Chain A
Amino acid sequence: MRQFFPVEDLARDERFVQTNMAERMKDGRTALELKESSAKSRGASKRLTPDRHDASDAARGLMHGIMVGEIQALEGAGRTAHDFATGDGTSDTVPFELKLDMARQAWDEARHVEISAKLSDWMGTELGEFAENTVLFEAACSNDPILRLAGVNRALEGLAIDVFTQMKEFGDIAGDPYLEFCEDWMLADEVTHVKMGSDWLRKVTANDPDRRSKALEFQQVVDKLFSFGGARGESEESSFSLATRFRELAGFTDDEVKTISEMDAEALAERRAQVLAYREKVGADAPA
């Protein structure tokens, strides 16, 4: 079986159309408030809660993003179980027990794909209705298995913890029993996946501080990408926030959570500057 699968070759049927982060960032539109005064006058939080006027469609869009994210997480975990030789963790080898964890994760993700597809159907979304951003799988393409653990198990699955927490709360407030229940169960799995990544990263790099440091740097790069231009963050402009408590349970230190939170704020500021620059270029004013 082929090893090291490029993102361009992911198998999808004709329902799915793929995009990537670079393409998404070319979109000069934004729901962000670009003027300080308008933020107050509009007064609306961007948090994905049922009291948003577009709550149902926003939840449908995020649920579809979760579903394709689960497909990519399945593909990423499966690749890591297969791509590397069994060994003691040095060089390009991974311990057999790590492969077992990746296989277990792939099994979990496959179940999540099925759950997410059924939830999408429940919410009135067709599979492939929204563009699939392949940024998640791109984090799973490193040649170093430890960088994959940092990118997939800590950054991607960490993002999943944040998103599932928001969606669980959405289901709870809206009174949607299926959404609340399913997100809660998937959230429990994601905490385990992040914990596996945290544990293996520490174990395999116990005697290799340079490799550990490189992996954590890579995780930061991926984490910033996964902020999606500030969609995640503590600002009221962000759709969902960092799920601090669940991240602690998954093995993130307070400092790590603080660093991710700061990167989310940076990503939001950068996105805002990018949009303003685009508007200046096309000669459009920010909305009053």
Chain B
Amino acid sequence: MSDTTTETPNVTVSPAEFSFVKYEADEIATIVAELAAMLGMSNPIHVIVDETTPLAKLSEELDGSSSGATVTLHAESGALEDRKHPMSFSPENARESLGRILLRSRDRLRPDFADAPCDLDLTLAENAAWDTYCVGRLARLGVTTNQQRWRYNHRNRFGFGDRVDTAFDALWGADELSWPEVVATASA
């Protein structure tokens, strides 16, 4: 397993070579670069893939709040995997997973997200609400998503009922929310 990185303009990926899964660092970098262009982000981006676990946890962090701040995306290998062919890469799943947390990073560059806890301190409910808000926007940008999967995730965190579904629809269809609005919409 190599700890070196591979680079596309502005995007680096670690590891450069994978031992546990059949992933290509260059392919990941290309996808992230395309997502960044689509989201209008010019920040340097570093992607760190934990290929030793099949789980799919994702998180992101920024080392500042300007367009020059480096975005670091952490992804467990399952988040980028082809579920029909374990250990193989799925560009489609990678686009949805990495796009989701890249959007979070873009949100964090806004002053009205200053109060959002860092990813690892988010509650399960806050995490689900932000995911709903991000994936809804990704879907409108043309990234393939399964809305029912995210509705189910949202229901597991907020409950199974009409009120929760209405809040999900509001978050899914929203743009330009602040962090307090994300939290308030989910709890409405």
Chain A 134-159, CB within 8 Å of chain B: the 1/0 string?
00000000000000000000000000
Name B's A-contacting residues (CB within 8 A): 1, 19-21, 50-57, 77, 83-87, 124, 127, 146-153, 155-156, 159-160
9 contacts between A and B (CB under 8 A): A27-B86, A28-B20, A56-B153, A130-B84, A174-B155, A176-B155, A282-B20, A284-B52, A287-B53
A30 at the interface (CB under 8 A from B): yes
Interface Cβ pair total, 8 Å cutoff:
94
Q: Is the CB of B159 within 8 A of A130?
A: no
- Given A176-B156, A282-B19: A27 in contact with B50 (beta carbons within 8 A): no
B interface majority secondary structure: loop
With A124-B151, A177-B160, A286-B52 already in contact, 14 other A-B pairs whose C-beta atoms are closer than 8 Å: A29-B21, A30-B54, A31-B53, A56-B153, A59-B156, A122-B152, A123-B152, A124-B152, A131-B85, A174-B155, A174-B160, A175-B159, A176-B160, A282-B1
Residues of B within 8 A of A29 (CB): 20-21, 51-54, 77, 87
Closest to A50 in B: B156
**7 shortest A-B CB distances, which residue pairs?**
A124-B149, A124-B148, A56-B153, A282-B19, A17-B84, A29-B54, A284-B1
Q: How far is the CB of B102 from chain A (nearest CB, A)?
A: 19
Chain A 92-128, CB within 8 Å of chain B: the 1/0 string?
0000000000000000000000000000011111101
Q: Is the CB of B19 within 8 A of A284?
A: yes
Q: Is the CB of B84 within 8 A of A51?
A: no
Residues of B within 8 A of A60 (CB): 149, 152
Contact of B156 among A55, A284, A287 (CB under 8 A): A55
Q: How far is the CB of A4 from chain B (nearest CB, A)?
A: 28
Residues of B within 8 A of A214 (CB): none
A35 at the interface (CB under 8 A from B): no
Q: Is the CB of B83 within 8 A of A131?
A: yes
A258 at the interface (CB under 8 A from B): no
Q: How far is the CB of A113 from chain B (nearest CB, A)?
A: 19
A253 at the interface (CB under 8 A from B): no
Q: Is the CB of B156 within 8 A of A174?
A: yes
Closest to B19 in A: A282
Closest to B155 in A: A176
A8 at the interface (CB under 8 A from B): no
Residues of B within 8 A of A177 (CB): 160
Residues of B within 8 A of A30 (CB): 52-54
Closest to A126 in B: B146
A283 at the interface (CB under 8 A from B): yes
- Assembled-state Cα–Cα distance A286/B1 (Å): 12
- Assembled-state Cα–Cα distance A130/B84 (Å): 5
Residues of A within 8 A of B159 (CB): 175
Q: How far is the CB of B25 from chain A (nearest CB, A)?
A: 16
- Given A60-B149, A126-B146, A284-B19: A53 in contact with B57 (beta carbons within 8 A): yes
A199 at the interface (CB under 8 A from B): no
Chain A 9-38, CB within 8 Å of chain B: the 1/0 string?
000000001010001100111110000000
